[in-house]
Amino acid sequence: MLAALAWAGPVLADSDQAMRTALELTSGRDYAGALAVAPAGVGVDIVEWQRLRAGQGSFAEYEGFLARHPDWPGLPLMYEKAEGALAETADPTTVIGWFSANPAVTGTGAVAHVKALLAADRNAEAETEAMRAWATLTFTPEEEAALDDQETF
C-alpha cells in the first residue's frame, strides 16, 4: 500500500504540471496546444469548457458538451455561445429541435428559432416565439431588425 502511494506522488505531480501548462495555454487561446498537454478526462473537459466559453466551437461541440456536463458552472454563457453557433446552421430541423428543449436566451437565438419555424411553415409557433422573445429578451439593433424582417406571420 505504501509503495503504491509513493509511486502515485510523481504521477500526480506530472498531472498537476500538465494541467498548469494547459491552463497557461488556454489563457493565450492556444486551445489545440492545451488539449495536447491536458490530462485525460477532466483536464481535457476543462480545456474544452474554456474554449467553448470563448466562443470557439461548432454547435455540435456545444450540444455534446452540454449533454455530458449539464451541471458545470457558467452554463448560461455556454448556452448563449451555443445559440450563436446554432444560428449559423441552415438546418431548420436542428434549430427547432434545440429550441424545443432549450428556449432561446439571446436575441440571436430567438431570431434563428423564428426563421426556422417560418421555414418549416409553422407560422403560429413563429409568432408565439417572436412575442415571447420580444417580451423577455434583450435585442441588439441588428437582432431587432432581423426579427422585424421575419414578422410575416
Concatenating the DSSP letter of every residue in 42-60 gives HHHHHHHHHHHHTT-S-HH
Name the more confident of 37 and 6: 37
Of 120, 121, 128, 123, nearest to 103 (Cα)? Answer: 128
Of 27, 14, 63, 59, nearest to 46 (Cα)? Answer: 27
pLDDT, averaged across the chain: 89
* pLDDT score for 109: 97
Q: Quote the CA–CA distance of 104 and 76 in Å, as a whole number.
A: 11
Please calculate the CA angle 41-44-45 and round it to the nearest 5 degrees.
85
Confidence band for 128, pLDDT divided at 50, 70 and 90: very high
pLDDT digits (tens, 9 = 90+) for 31-89: 998 989 898 989 999 999 999 999 999 999 999 999 999 999 999 999 999 999 999 88
Query: Could you tell me the pTM of the whole model?
Result: 0.81
DSSP state of 26: H
* pLDDT score for 11: 45
Confidence band for 90, pLDDT divided at 50, 70 and 90: confident
* pLDDT score for 93: 96
* pLDDT score for 10: 52
Residue 25 predicted with pLDDT over 50: yes
